[in-house]
Amino acid sequence: MVAKAPAAGYKSLLPGSPKRRRHQVSLPTVALIAVVLLWAGYRYSHSQQSSIPLADSAADGGSGGSTDGGSKARQGGALSLGPIVLPAGSLHATTSARATAGLVPLDEARTLQFDLCNGFTNQRIALLSGLVLAAELNRSVVLPDFLLDGYQPDAKEWITVDKAQVEPFGIWFDQAAFVQALNEHGMTVAEGAAADPALVGIERYDSQSQPVDAIVAYMKKRTRQHIRIACPAFRLPGALIERHKELLMAASRALRPSPRYAALIEARRQRIADLTGAPLGSYTVLHLRAEKDWLALCEWWQKPEEGRDNCMNNTLTVGQPLQEHGFPPEVPVVVVTSFRDAVKDVLDAALQSIRGHKFVPVLGSELVRGKDEEALSREQRALVDYYLGLDAQRFLGNSVSTFTAFIMLERKWAHRPAGHYNGGGVPLSLFFPFYDDPSS
């Protein structure tokens, strides 16, 4: 069922495409933007599909039996099997963390441990933020677990490892490649987490804090071999993030999906080719925000006097930005949104605009096939869609969403075309100040 538009109406949120402006940002505004970015990031992945509960045991070939090679998820310290069964020969079905090259024994390392939080994109942001802090403190990083479902019931509550099931880093990504990339940039990775690290607060800091303030606070714990902080997403000063650009670029490039997820992504790419007749890999991804809860967020976000006036711009006429960005109409446009939660007249108008400008839309929901893909958790689905967007020939999305904003940044670093259809600026630039960097 397609959702109806909010009673307040959405047309007041569609003022057109404003020119990009710069504003003096107040500290309360920074805090508000951080909350909105957290909300905007996780709402995308929550809205993809309703999450299927994780089974107590992983099915082996559909038989319902358990398998020793299955991935294990942790929740509150208890072990349970997650929804993904790793194929024989995959990274974590055959190797342990200790066997991975480049890891430092825990008793020889001074470590920084940190949690991830909320949806997939915000977990990615937290990971990169944690690497920056580890580099500043000259500590070995402990690779964090990833949350399977980071859905927040409201914008005030952060979802971390104590509130959600998690999987180890290497289940999602090629751990060996990632460790090697960090080693090449002078960063060491610990082989595991300490049992009793010293806890250090991070909640007082944000993008406008002075870099030295945060570092001095953490240096006070320099005598402790192992320290731990809460989720660092949107907590580090932008200036601190900025001076570790090369590390962040290298880490982003090295975040390669594990064989399991690489196969799922490749299957989606093949289905695009099969559905459209286009050459394999020839597609554009359009991240369209048309969900009911997104419209509600935009009503709250919209404050033109503070420069926040681009949440819904050009959504109904999105075919025009596709054309203005020079996207070739012969390349199919994969539309990624929550079709079950979309406001019908908004989605219909957007699709009509796409077709009216001679583009051929492919609905992302048409690419999901089989029980294995349907059983993916919320953040696992977001991972697949994220890399589908990274791998696309071209990408266009809504810059207020962290999902779009971070894909834009990573594609910029990779010198691949990307843009946003909603005009205005990119709120995430307060925290990752690289969007205007001509050297990227």
Domains of the chain, first to last = 11-50+258-430 (3.40.50), 70-254 (3.40.50)
Averaged pLDDT for residues 287-299? 87
Residue 63's pLDDT is what? 30
What confidence category does residue 40 fall into, taking pLDDT thresholds of 50, 70 and 90? low
Residue 378's pLDDT is what? 81
Cα–Cα distance measured from residue 225 to residue 196, given in angstroms and rounded to the nearest whole number: 10
Residue 93 clears pLDDT 50, i.e. is over it:
no
Rounded (10°) angle between helices 27-48 and 378-391: 100
What confidence category does residue 327 fall into, taking pLDDT thresholds of 50, 70 and 90? very high
Element (H, E) at 399: none
CA 186, chain centre distance (Å): 25
**Geometric angle at alpha carbon 254, from 248 and 259, rounded to 5°:** 150
Asked whether the beta carbons of 295 and 313 are under 8 A apart, the reply is no
What confidence category does residue 84 fall into, taking pLDDT thresholds of 50, 70 and 90? very low
Q: Which residue has the higher pLDDT, 8 or 63?
A: 8
Residue 215 clears pLDDT 90, i.e. is over it:
no
What sign does the CA torsion over 89, 168, 378, 134 have? negative
Averaged pLDDT for residues 123-142? 94
What confidence category does residue 203 fall into, taking pLDDT thresholds of 50, 70 and 90? low
3-state secondary structure at position 85: strand
Q: Which residue has the higher pLDDT, 29 or 142?
A: 142
pTM: 0.77
Averaged pLDDT for residues 116-124? 90
Residue 47's pLDDT is what? 44
| Percent of the chain residues topping a pLDDT of 70 | 68
Residue 270's pLDDT is what? 96
**β-strands 78-85, 70-75: how paired?**
antiparallel
Cα–Cα distance measured from residue 158 to residue 370, given in angstroms and rounded to the nearest whole number: 32
Averaged pLDDT for residues 410-434? 93
Residue 98 clears pLDDT 70, i.e. is over it:
no
Asked whether the beta carbons of 230 and 202 are under 8 A apart, the reply is yes
Asked whether the beta carbons of 234 and 431 are under 8 A apart, the reply is yes
Residue 308's pLDDT is what? 83
The label of the residue with tokens 């601190």 reads 240
Element (H, E) at 336: strand 333-336
What confidence category does residue 38 fall into, taking pLDDT thresholds of 50, 70 and 90? low
Summary mean pLDDT of the chain? 77
Averaged pLDDT for residues 60-88? 32
Q: Which residue has the higher pLDDT, 301 or 196?
A: 196
Residue 330's pLDDT is what? 96
Strand ranges across the sheet with 146-147: 78-85, 70-75, 166-167, 146-147
What confidence category does residue 373 fall into, taking pLDDT thresholds of 50, 70 and 90? confident
